[in-house]
Amino acid sequence: MAYSKLEYIWLDGFKPTQLLRSKTKVVHDFSGNLEDCPMWNFDGSSTDQATGDSSDCLLKPVAIFPDPDRKNGYLVMTEVLNADGTPHETNGRAAIDDDSDDFWFGFEQEYFLHDPETGRPLGFPVNGYPAPQGPYYCSVGGQRAYGREIIDEHLDLCLEAGLNVEGINAEVAAGQWEFQIFAKGAHSAGDQIWVARYLIERTAEKYGLAIDWHPKPLGDTDWNGSGMHANFSNGKMRDEGGEDYMKEVCEAFGNFIQEHIDVYGADNDQRLTGKHETQSIDKFSYGVSDRGASIRIPVTTVEDGWVGRLEDRRPASNADPYKVAGRIIKTVNSVS
């Protein structure tokens, strides 16, 4: 009898930043289709999602991908539900108020490879710092690029799993990397980012390393933090656009500053300082090709006749893409 290993992945209830959890369900004669993934459950009292006297939480499968790193394996992204089938309060995916593919998202996910033995990013000595940042962005060479074999393995796994990764690169700081994922629809974009995060976490395990999602892991130093820049558009932005409309959308983001910051990741104030290609967390601005603005208007959008996408540069690397996308949708939809 054929068997399959279904890895059910979910977000726990840890605060201020949720962690990934997963466990394996072995099933026989599995079709590989999402609709044939059974509901499952877990002990919510062990993940800060329930109390011990009423501990059962449900796992509702919402997306499935083949798992290239496991024999007969599948990666099953799930939503957490209460025992009565209602969305759990930690379930950001269920709160997205849009079931269409009208909104497109391109997330640029930055992160650091972290060495648990030294407590430092990969490439950093135990005491002190490597050469100042400058040569590490899109770098090559053993004195500038650290952990490439891990990054390449992760890229291959993501592509073989069917995730729409559009690129990777070494980032500005030593030991810092980025992958980019594009998807149509907020749910799909969030699903793919979370599964890609799961895969880089699991891949790093094999090398005795960890992933640091903190937006400013090196504290108050002259090293860049990590973000998850959110490129977005809806049908009107792509098909009609126009300078007036695109600027009206940008202005709308200025009307909901705190609502966005509230879901853009914990400790983001340490990153959004007005330095290192960021705008201060207490200010809002937008501009063409301005990486120091809250919202960057890509020069290609202008050259194409003010048609296309915008980029919100504020989301932190540890932000929940479901919540980021959901808030962006609400703000854009506030513009008539």
Low-confidence winner among 9-13, 96-100, 244-248, 323-327 (lowest mean pLDDT):
96-100
Q: Tokens 């050259």 label which residue? A: 303
pLDDT value of residue 171 = 97
Tokens found for residue 99: 């079931």
pLDDT(49) > 60: yes
Q: How far apart are the C-alpha atoms of 10 and 88, rounded to whole Å?
A: 12
pLDDT(211) > 70: yes
The whole-model pTM stands at 0.97
pLDDT value of residue 256 = 97
pLDDT(106) > 90: yes
Q: How far apart are the C-alpha atoms of 60 and 241, rounded to whole Å?
A: 38
pLDDT(336) > 80: no
Residue 72's alpha-carbon distances to 2, 67, 205, in angstroms, are 9, 8, 21
What are the tens digits of pLDDT across the range 68-93?
A: 999 999 999 999 999 999 999 999 99
pLDDT(1) > 70: no
What number of residues does the chain have? 336
pLDDT(276) > 90: no
Domains annotated for the chain, with CATH where assigned, are 3-94 (3.10.20.70), 104-333 (3.30.590.10)
Contact 71, 297 (CB under 8 A): no
pLDDT(159) > 80: yes
Q: How far apart are the C-alpha atoms of 15 and 20, rounded to whole Å?
A: 12
pLDDT value of residue 116 = 95
Q: How far apart are the C-alpha atoms of 203 and 69, rounded to whole Å?
A: 9
What are the tens digits of pLDDT across the range 291-309?
A: 999 999 999 999 999 999 9
Region 112-117: mean pLDDT is 96
pLDDT value of residue 130 = 94
pLDDT(11) > 60: yes
pLDDT > 70: percent of the chain: 100
Contact 145, 168 (CB under 8 A): no
